[in-house]
Homo-oligomer: A and B are copies of this chain.
Amino acid sequence: VLALEVVLPTGEVLHTGSKAVKNVVGYDLTQLLVGSEGTLAIVTKITLRLIPKPPARETLAAAFATIRDAVNAVTALIAARVVPAAIELIDDASLRAASEFSGRTFPGRVLLIAECDGSAPAVADEIARVDEACRSAGALDVSRAVDDEERAALWLVRRQVSLALRATGLLKINHDVVVPRGRVPALFEVVAELRQRFDLLIAAFGHAGDGNIHVNLMIDPQNAAARERASAAEQQLFQRVVALDGSISGEHGIGFAKARYLHLELAPEQIALLRRVKAAFDPNGILNPGKIFDSAP
C-alpha cells in the first residue's frame, strides 16, 4: 500500500504516502492505518504498488504420513533459505474433512502444497529443491501440476478446507496465530498438546512458510462443556504462541472476538499508547467502538 485517501472521524480528508516507492516525509501514517480495523479513519482510496505477474510458476503437492514429516520438510526449506511464494500445510484433521467433503482421496494423511514463481530458470531450480526437501523428509508422494488445470485442482483442496470443516456441522472457532518461521514445529507440538489436554478436535492448516497457521477448534455447539474447554484451550493457545515470540493474529486482527486477549500480547503501557494514538485520530471515539480495545481505559 503506497498511499491512502482517508476521512478522519472529525471530517478532514487526508492523503497519506505517495506514488513514489520511497517517502520519508513525516510519520508513516499509511502503514499505521493499514490494519487499524476502521478504528482510526475511513479509507476512501487506496494506491497499491503492483508487482509484475511472474512469467513462470510451478506448483507441487506432497503427501506425508504425519504432520511431523511435513513440518520437517518446511523446516528444511527454511534452513536451506528456499522461500517459495507459498507453502501451505493441511493437517490430518483438515485433510480428512476435505476428503469427505470432496470425495477425493490423497496418498497420505497430511498434505503440503508449495508454489514457486519468478523467472522460468529460477522457478525450475527452486521447485526442484522443494521436491527434493519433501522426498528427503519422507514424502509418500510428490506430484507436480503440469498445467493450469492441475494447478487449480491442487489449490482447490486448500480452498475447500474451511468449507469442508464447516460442513462437518461442528462449530469452527478459527484463529490465525503466527510464530517465527523456525518455530512452526513447536506450534504444531502445542496444537497436539492442546488436542489431548482439552479433548478437542483441532484442525490446523495454513501458511506454514510464514509461520501463520489457522488453528480451528471444532466443537459441538450444543455441548456446553466442550465450549468451556475450547475457551480454555483458546487462551492457552494464545499464551503459548506469545511465549514462542509469536502473535495472536497474523492476518485477521483483533476485532471484537480477541479484544479481551489483547493484554496477553501487549503490555499495559503499550495498550495505553495505542489508546492515545486512537484518540489523536478519533477524539470522540466514534469509529468502531469495542474493536481492538474491549473496554474503557
Contacts and interface: CB of A to CB of B under 8 A. Distances in A.
A181 interface: yes
Contacts of A212: 20-22
Most buried by B among A22, A27, A250, A253: A27
Contacts of A20: 178-181, 210-212, 245-247, 250
A34 interface: yes
Contacts of A181: 20-21
How many copies the complex holds: the figure is 2
Contact of A22 (B18, B119, B247, B278): B247
A247 B29 CA distance: 15
Query: Top 3 nearest A-B pairs by Cβ distance?
Result: A121-B121, A122-B122, A22-B250
A45 interface: no
Interface string A4-42: 000010001111101111111111110110111000100
B18 A262 contact: no
A134 interface: no
Nearest to A209: B21
Interface residues of A, number: 68
Contact of A262 (B26, B120, B124, B210): B26
Interface of A: 8, 12-16, 18-29, 31-32, 34-36, 40, 52, 81, 83, 118-122, 124-126, 178-181, 210-212, 245-254, 262, 265-267, 269-271, 273-274, 276-281, 292
A28 B31 contact: yes
B280 A276 contact: yes
A70 to B, nearest CB: 20
Contacts of A266: 25-26
Contact of A250 (B19, B24, B292): B24
A207 to B, nearest CB: 8
Contacts of A28: 31-32, 34-35
B52 A270 contact: no
Most buried by B among A21, A24, A292: A24
Nearest to A35: B24
A264 to B, nearest CB: 9
A137 B273 CA distance: 53
21 contacts: A12-B273, A15-B267, A18-B246, A20-B180, A20-B247, A21-B210, A21-B211, A22-B210, A24-B254, A25-B266, A26-B254, A26-B265, A26-B274, A27-B32, A27-B35, A27-B36, A27-B274, A32-B277, A119-B126, A121-B122, A122-B122
Contacts of A281: 273, 276
Nearest to A21: B210
A14 B270 contact: yes
